[in-house]
């Protein structure tokens, strides 16, 4: 499976579970605090799908937020202040489903190791709230196997 198809499958999973508004209340650029703008280029395409996935059941548990922060730290090498900015962003911003496709297009160009890390984070998110859908888990495992 090509990286583009794999990312597309991941996007299908997020869409299937998403409980998000169809249009953002603010433009995507406005969703990022000014001090957070420097991290946007490296992390937004990871934050948006994971936040949509985490919020898909209507609840956003601390364990889910921590999974996203740890994933972003692994991708972006974050210092404590940057971790706090991401935590604040996640607590105060609800991405819109319309932000998913641009994030997926960026993920298609991502290093396969970062995609594997994203898939691992998605599986931890799915398990974090105790609601485990085996079909979703199998899909994520199949994606991980495709990446090697």
List pLDDT tens digits, range 27-36. Answer: 444 555 677 7
* Among 50, 146, 137, 39, residue whose Cα is nearest residue 99: 50
pLDDT for 70 equals 95
pLDDT at 82 over 70: yes
* Model confidence pLDDT, tens digit, residues 112-128: 889 889 888 988 888 88
Compute the distance between CA of residue 27 and CA of residue 23 in angstroms, rounded to an integer: 9
Whether 50 contacts 71, CB under 8 Å: yes
Domain count, the chain: 1
> Which residue is listed with tokens 């994030």?
103
- Which range, 7-11, 61-65, 70-74, has the best average confidence (pLDDT)? 70-74
Q: Model pTM?
A: 0.78
Predicted pLDDT of residue 40: 78
Average pLDDT over residues 37-41: 79
Confidence band for 83, pLDDT divided at 50, 70 and 90: very high
More confident of the two residues 79 and 7: 79
Q: What is the pLDDT of residue 107?
A: 85
Give the separation between CA 44 and CA 10, rounded to whole angstroms. 16
Predicted confidence band of residue 1 (pLDDT cuts 50, 70, 90) = very low
Structure confidence at residue 67 (pLDDT):
94
CA-CA-CA-CA torsion sign (15, 58, 29, 73): negative
Per the structure, the complete domain to which residue 98 belongs is given by: 3-147
């Amino acid at each position: 499976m090509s990286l583009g198809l794999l990312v597309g499958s991941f996007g299908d999973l997020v869409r299937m579970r998403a409980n998000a508004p169809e249009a953002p209340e603010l433009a995507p650029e406005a969703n990022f605090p000014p001090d957070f703008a420097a991290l946007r280029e490296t992390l937004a395409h990871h934050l948006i799908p994971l936040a949509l996935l985490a919020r898909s059941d209507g609840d956003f548990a601390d364990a889910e937020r921590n999974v996203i922060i740890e994933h972003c730290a692994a991708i972006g090498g974050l210092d404590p202040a940057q971790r706090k900015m991401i935590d604040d962003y996640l607590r105060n911003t609800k991405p819109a489903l319309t932000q998913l496709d641009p994030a997926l297009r960026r993920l298609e160009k991502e290093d396969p190791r970062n995609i594997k890390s994203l898939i691992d984070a998605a599986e931890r998110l799915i398990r974090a709230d105790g609601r485990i859908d085996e079909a979703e888990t199998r899909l994520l495992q199949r994606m991980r196997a495709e990446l090697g």
